[in-house]
Amino acid sequence: APVLDWKCTICENVNKGGVKCTLCGVPRQNGSEEVLDADSTHLNALLNEMGNNAIEQSPIRCPICTFDNHGSMKTCEMCDTELPQTPDDTAAATSSDATSIGTPQYPRLRTAEQASAYRDASNFVTLIKLSFRAGGASAFYTSLKEGVSNSVWLVVGNGDFWEPDQAQSQLQQQQQPVTPGSMASGRDRRPAAGGISTIVSAAHETERARENTVRSAFLDLDALTEKANEIISMAEHIATQLNSPAASKLHRTSGMESDEDNAERMDAFRQYLLDLGIDSPVTRDTAGAVFHEELARELCDYLENYVSQCGGAVALVDAYCLYNRAREFSLVYPADFVQACEKFEALQLPLRLREYPSGLLVLEDAGSASDALIISRINNYIKSFGPVTANDLAAIEDCPLNLAEERLWLCERAGELCRDESVEGIRFYENVFLSVVSRRDGSEYL
Partner 1 sequence: MANTFATSAAEGTSSAFQFPEIYSFPPFFSRQPNEATWREQRRQWCELILAYYKHNRLYSMSLAEAATEPPFTNRQIHRSLRVDVLRELVDELVKQGNAVWTGAKNTKDSCLIFWRKPDVWASMIHQWASERGMFNTVLTLFELTNGDDTVGQEFHNLDPTTLRRALDVLQSQGKAQLFVGTSDEDMGVKFFT
Report, in Å, the least distance between residue 368 CB and partner 1: 25
Report how far residue 375's alpha carbon sits from residue 410's, in angstroms, rounded to the nearest whole number.
8
Q: Between residues 42 and 427, which has the closer beta carbon with respect to partner 1?
A: 427
**Nearest alpha carbon to residue 162 among 176, 174, 152, 150:** 152
According to DSSP, residue 84 is labeled: P
CA angle 443-445-446, nearest 5°?
Answer: 70
Phi, psi torsion values for 61, nearest 5 degrees:
-85, 135
Q: What is the dihedral of CA 311, 316, 319, 323, to 10 degrees?
A: 150
Q: Between residues 80 and 412, which has the closer beta carbon with respect to partner 1?
A: 412
Report, in Å, the least distance between residue 361 CB and partner 1: 23
Report, in Å, the least distance between residue 422 CB and partner 1: 7
Q: Between residues 17 and 425, which has the closer beta carbon with respect to partner 1?
A: 425
Distance of CA 16 to the CA centre of its chain: 39
Report, in Å, the least distance between residue 405 CB and partner 1: 13
Plot region of 377 (φ>0 → left; ψ -120 to 50 → alpha; else → beta): alpha
C-beta pairs of 72-76 under 8 Å, 24+ apart in sequence: 72/110, 72/111, 74/104, 75/104
- Give SS3 for 137: helix
Report, in Å, the least distance between residue 375 CB and partner 1: 13
**Nearest alpha carbon to residue 348 among 334, 367, 332:** 367
Residues binding partner 1 (CB under 8 A): 387, 412-413, 415, 418-422, 427, 429, 431-434, 436-437, 442, 444-446
Phi, psi torsion values for 155, nearest 5 degrees:
-115, 130
Q: Between residues 118 and 409, which has the closer beta carbon with respect to partner 1?
A: 409
Q: Between residues 6 and 409, which has the closer beta carbon with respect to partner 1?
A: 409
- Give SS3 for 142: helix
Report, in Å, the least distance between residue 389 CB and partner 1: 12
Q: Which helix (H) or strand (E) holds 60?
A: strand 60-61
- Give SS3 for 258: coil
Report, in Å, the least distance between residue 442 CB and partner 1: 7
Q: Between residues 97 and 430, which has the closer beta carbon with respect to partner 1?
A: 430
Report, in Å, the least distance between residue 350 CB and partner 1: 32
Phi, psi torsion values for 5, nearest 5 degrees:
-85, 150
Q: Between residues 114 and 431, which has the closer beta carbon with respect to partner 1?
A: 431
Q: Between residues 67 and 429, which has the closer beta carbon with respect to partner 1?
A: 429
298 half-sphere exposure, CB direction, 13 A CA radius = 23
